Structure 1
Amino acid sequence: MANNCVWGMLFCVLLLSVFTECAPEGSLVTHLPGFNGSFPSKHYSGYVEVDGKNLFYYLVVSERSPPQDPVVLWLNGGPGCSSFDGFIYEHGPFNFEVGKSEKALPKLHLNGYSWSKVSNIIYLESPCGVGLSYSSDTGKYVTGDLDTASTTHAFLLKWFKLFPEFINNPFYIAGESYAGIYVPTLAAELAKGTKRGVKPINFKGYMVGNGVTDEKFDGTALVPFAHGMALISDDIFNEVYNSCGVLYYNNNSETCYASLEKVSQAIAGLNIYDILEPCYHYPGSAKKEDANESTSLPLSFQMLGGTERPLAVRKRMFGRAWPLWATVKDGPVPLWPQLAEKYHVACINDDVATTWLNNAEVREAIHAAPVNVSGPWELCTRKISYNHDAGSMIPYHKNLTSLNYRVLIYSGDHDMCVPYTGSEAWTRSLGYKTSSAWRSWWSNNQVAGYLQEYDNKLTFLTIKGAGHTVPEYKPSEALDFYTRWLDRKPI
């Protein structure tokens, strides 16, 4: 096997038209429960061990041209949320149809807008303890930004040794929400390796969607967003700044809290991940009066009231990032399940993914450990202990863009969780000269959003009508900008 891989690597280098498989034995996914038909490309999955941590990956090989197409690592956020969120609900190779009975497996249909149409994409369960990744040592579940970046870098070095046929493909990192921390910190690790002369990975850049970035910019994004979207009045908007100042998220005075409570009451009942979408509530829990109970935290942490309106298929909207003005600060980070024990987190339902990934036949098919070894799959875990220790991402982005890496920052413009207003502000704050002024970009003969390009290969882009998880809301438009950006074509 090893000798075959060496020759395969040489062929990949010298003859790009030849694509020789060197995948680890037993990693090929031959079937998936719930799907009838042939895969449009090959799938591989399994574990890579890093310092006692068994990190699970799922590789979908490109449907277009595997030897030339980029390799993209996808990371979901949380922290502590599974990247199968992206696989199942966003840009994976399948669309999942709810089973006919409560315990029935969902049916899988090919997704015409999968990002594997144009890229080899790796979905990684990170950090250890998330999703299908596990360790026999619970101490491995204590982690943070810097440790996660270092471990993921080590994973990549091992992964490319297992799949040497991809070693010369352009490599990108992509993610959303708290992956706004994961992505640039991992990119910094790769950049350090390149600087030291160790370059086993052909790293070219990264993309972040609706990503957590910086306490100040994230913390001051909501009120301008709510005002611009006509969710709060001019009077409430002006009152917040008069009572709280510009850094309203960090003002604990009674007068400021009273003003922010008016904002909370105005937006109560909305789906914070997409203000245009209905919000799913657990039966019997959606009572508006509950949203007015007193608490020591802003009302954004309490149940958002409203009528019971379940969504058609993809009902869960849980665990992607910090809600509203509860910004990420240095130190221990409360996980979503921990918040949910005390406060109702709105719009929660991940039944499809939970049913599928906790099925024994599915786990066997994707070479995942059984439930009694890795534990049940959860969209967002409560097992890990996570510390935000990397600080603001602004210095990371500044350094990486100065090193000539390509960077795309994109935002669904109707996300209220990590609003575009913060992302637009921090990209502008880097101080780069505008190379392409604010303009619309088009998809399917329609305006699909807006973008602004800066020197140093930095682009900020919005997707019109999309929420926090852009490919879930606008799959066609998402594949469109993703393809053009990876192919280095104008968006």
Structure 2
Amino acid sequence: MAKHVALLLVLCVASITGEVLGVQREQQSTASGVEREEEQDRILRLPGQPEVSFKQFSGYVTVNEQVGRALFYWLTEAELEPESRPLVLWLNGGPGCSSIAYGASEEIGPFRIKKSASGLYLNKFSWNKVANLLFLESPVGVGYSYTNTSSDLTNFGDLQTAKDSLQFLLRWFDRFPRYKNRELYLTGESYAGHYVPQLAHQILQYNSRAPHGINLKGIMVGNAVTDNYYDNLGTVTYWWSHAMISDKTYKNILKSCDFHLENLTGACDRWFTYATSREFGNIDQYNIYAPPCNSSDGATTTRRTLSSPLRFKTSVIGGYRGGGYDPCTEKYAEIYYNRPDVQKALHANTTNISYKWTACNEILNRNWKDSANSILPIYKEMIAAGLRVWVFSGDVDSVVPVTATRFSLARLRLSTKIPWHPWYVKKQVAGWTEVYEGLTFATVRGAGHEVPLFKSRAAFLLFNSFLGGKPLPNS
């Protein structure tokens, strides 16, 4: 009898040991599969790239197998202690413009593109000094992101973009599981004033039904499209208050335009055309005090299609190129990111897309199907959920100007915690700020539409304060 018991014990132990080993082998196989997938996306070195200590990854995440939609991403990990730093997603707007062209290459990324497009140089104020940066080209049709269903390019809008971006995040976290529980912040500018809050809304909905949600902590948007009526009213007011249009034109626009309507028609349209074609003159509307790009030097007009995201459209007329700020940066991006060696290093264009990489996709921009009239209800939802919400505005942008943002945010009717005051960088006024219950607003003095491009040091300090949840320095 004892022999039978001993034999049974041996068999039980062997069975349990086999099961444990089987589970361990399965876990190791899964882990090694994830590591292989991640390693396939590892960027060894970009053409003309200076030496760096941080890791980079880029590639595609399929968000819809049925129609063949895949979004392109580029992750630049933090310079120091990336394993403990938060994850920051950056989105550009348009709709239809690339976060690789703008956010990564001329604003907050670690590299800037040389004028010759022969290589890269380091950005002294890159945000990956304090965070892991994830740039996403969204929606499909933007940059390297693609769809196998051509009708997607003429049928996209806010809702599908937000849903695809959520699907991207969920699948990207499966590829990079070490980021799954990391603090996540959503950031962006311009029409990302729609993208960022709408993605936050999708995440909050997902978290309400998922056993293990996404660790979303906050959002920050700059020169953000927010509310159609107040954005439009604030933009016209900015034009007039900065002497871009005459008293007569300003009065006639206010008299003939109903900003509640979907389109401008009749007298309203004529007055807008008159203002933009006859009174604006040869300026860069994204920074009214900076020289525009000279179209005669072969530069494309992609900055124009960042575009007026409001109901009325404006155009940039070619001018001259001055020193300091370079308004032709998109041209360098379009040369660099169309290079075969660059695409190979980025694991991009693997399906041999039939069209060239561009900073903005005008087909998407012209055919955008659904656009929320106001994002303010989502702001209320985010504040109620306890998310950190910051909004900033470069004060020399006439496309989505500071007056538009202030008019829109005023509709939230938030009580003030810290009254309006200047904030400082190196003992100089960098802008002004007010802290409300649930939201911080800040201006950046002398910055245009792309705040980190024009005022990189101030933008970096702003970002650092946002991550830390601390008020901006008042002295």
For the superposition of Structure 1 and Structure 2, which TM-score range results when normalised by the shorter chain? 0.7 to 0.9
Identical amino acids, percent of aligned pairs: 35
Q: Which residue of structure 1 aligns with residue 150 of structure 2? A: 138
Per-residue CA deviations over 1:201-245 (Å, capped at 9, x if unaligned) read 110111111111221011112232123323345565455545658
Per-residue CA deviations over 1:424-448 (Å, capped at 9, x if unaligned) read 1111210111111111111122110
TM-aligned CA deviation for residue 27 of structure 1: 1.1
Q: In structure 2, which of residues 276, 279, 283 is the aligned counterpart of residue 270 of structure 1?
A: 283
Query: 1:232-247 maps to which residues of 2 (within 5 A)?
Result: 232-233=245-246, 237-238=250-251, 240-241=253-254
The answer to whether residue 353 in structure 2 is matched with residue 373 in structure 1 is yes
Query: 1:123-162 maps to which residues of 2 (within 5 A)?
Result: 123-141=135-153, 142-162=155-175
Q: In structure 2, which of residues 365, 380, 384 is the aligned counterpart of residue 402 of structure 1?
A: 384
Per-residue CA deviations over 1:406-455 (Å, capped at 9, x if unaligned) read 11111110000111101011112101111111111111221100111110
The answer to whether residue 97 in structure 2 is matched with residue 81 in structure 1 is yes
The answer to whether residue 410 in structure 2 is matched with residue 412 in structure 1 is no
**Relative to total residues, which structure has the larger helix share, 1 or 2?**
2
Q: Which residue of structure 1 aligns with residue 75 of structure 2? A: 59
Query: 1:71-470 maps to which residues of 2 (within 5 A)?
Result: 71-84=87-100, 85-99=102-116, 105-141=117-153, 142-233=155-246, 237-238=250-251, 240-241=253-254, 252=265, 254=267, 257-258=270-271, 261-262=274-275, 265-283=278-296, 317-322=303-308, 326=312, 350-370=330-350, 372-373=352-353, 375-384=355-364, 385-456=367-438, 458-470=439-451
Separation in structure 2 between the aligned mates of residue 436 and residue 470 of structure 1, nearest angstrom: 23
C-alpha contact (below 8 Å) 2:305/2:362 kept by paired residues:
no
Separation in structure 1 between the aligned mates of residue 95 and residue 272 of structure 2, nearest angstrom: 30
Secondary structure, in 3 states, of the residue corresponding to 1:318? Answer: helix
Counterpart AA for 2:198: T
Separation in structure 1 between the aligned mates of residue 301 and residue 156 of structure 2, nearest angstrom: 30
Separation in structure 1 between the aligned mates of residue 279 and residue 290 of structure 2, nearest angstrom: 16
Separation in structure 1 between the aligned mates of residue 388 and residue 243 of structure 2, nearest angstrom: 35
Deviates more, 1:404-413 or 1:249-258: 249-258
TM-aligned CA deviation for residue 60 of structure 1: 0.5
Separation in structure 1 between the aligned mates of residue 333 and residue 170 of structure 2, nearest angstrom: 29
TM-aligned CA deviation for residue 370 of structure 1: 4.5
**C-alpha spacing 1:234/1:369, structure 2 compared with 1 (3 Å):** closer
Deviating beyond 6 angstroms after TM superposition, the runs of 4 or more aligned structure 1 residues are: 5-8, 20-23, 245-251, 343-349
Separation in structure 1 between the aligned mates of residue 467 and residue 344 of structure 2, nearest angstrom: 33
Counterpart AA for 1:152: S
Secondary structure, in 3 states, of the residue corresponding to 2:392? Answer: strand
Q: Which residue of structure 2 aligns with residue 32 of structure 1? A: 46
TM-aligned CA deviation for residue 50 of structure 1: 1.2
Q: Which residue of structure 1 aligns with residue 13 of structure 2? A: none
**C-alpha spacing 1:283/1:437, structure 2 compared with 1 (3 Å):** same
Counterpart AA for 2:342: V
**C-alpha spacing 1:246/1:75, structure 2 compared with 1 (3 Å):** closer
Counterpart AA for 2:406: E
**C-alpha spacing 1:371/1:245, structure 2 compared with 1 (3 Å):** closer
TM-aligned CA deviation for residue 200 of structure 1: 3.4
Counterpart AA for 2:456: P
TM-aligned CA deviation for residue 176 of structure 1: 0.9
**C-alpha spacing 1:125/1:249, structure 2 compared with 1 (3 Å):** closer
C-alpha contact (below 8 Å) 1:357/1:377 kept by paired residues:
yes
TM-aligned CA deviation for residue 249 of structure 1: 10
Deviates more, 1:227-236 or 1:400-409: 227-236
Per-residue CA deviations over 1:141-192 (Å, capped at 9, x if unaligned) read 3321101101110110011111111122210111111111111111100010
TM-aligned CA deviation for residue 106 of structure 1: 2.6
TM-aligned CA deviation for residue 256 of structure 1: 8.4
**C-alpha spacing 1:123/1:5, structure 2 compared with 1 (3 Å):** farther
TM-score by length of 2: 0.83
Q: Which runs of 5+ in 1 are unaligned?
A: 9-19, 100-104, 286-309, 328-338
Counterpart AA for 1:81: C
Q: CA RMSD in A?
A: 3.2
Secondary structure, in 3 states, of the residue corresponding to 1:319? Answer: helix
C-alpha contact (below 8 Å) 2:253/2:268 kept by paired residues:
no
TM-aligned CA deviation for residue 126 of structure 1: 0.8
Deviates more, 1:140-149 or 1:177-186: 140-149
**C-alpha spacing 1:218/1:249, structure 2 compared with 1 (3 Å):** farther
Separation in structure 1 between the aligned mates of residue 442 and residue 208 of structure 2, nearest angstrom: 29
**C-alpha spacing 1:70/1:250, structure 2 compared with 1 (3 Å):** same
Per-residue CA deviations over 1:124-152 (Å, capped at 9, x if unaligned) read 11111110011223244332110110111
Deviates more, 1:62-71 or 1:45-54: 62-71
C-alpha contact (below 8 Å) 1:220/1:247 kept by paired residues:
no
Per-residue CA deviations over 1:354-413 (Å, capped at 9, x if unaligned) read 111111111111111257336321111145443124332111112221221111111110
TM-score by length of 1: 0.80
Number of residue pairs matched by the alignment? 433
Deviates more, 1:172-181 or 1:245-254: 245-254
Could you say which structure has the larger radius of gyration?
2
Secondary structure, in 3 states, of the residue corresponding to 2:88? Answer: strand
Secondary structure, in 3 states, of the residue corresponding to 1:276? Answer: coil
Separation in structure 2 between the aligned mates of residue 284 and residue 366 of structure 1, nearest angstrom: 29
Counterpart AA for 1:369: N
Q: Which runs of 5+ in 2 are unaligned?
A: 1-24, 320-326
C-alpha contact (below 8 Å) 1:411/1:462 kept by paired residues:
yes
Q: In structure 2, which of residues 54, 67, 86 is the aligned counterpart of residue 70 of structure 1?
A: 86
Q: Which residue of structure 2 aligns with residue 17 of structure 1? A: none
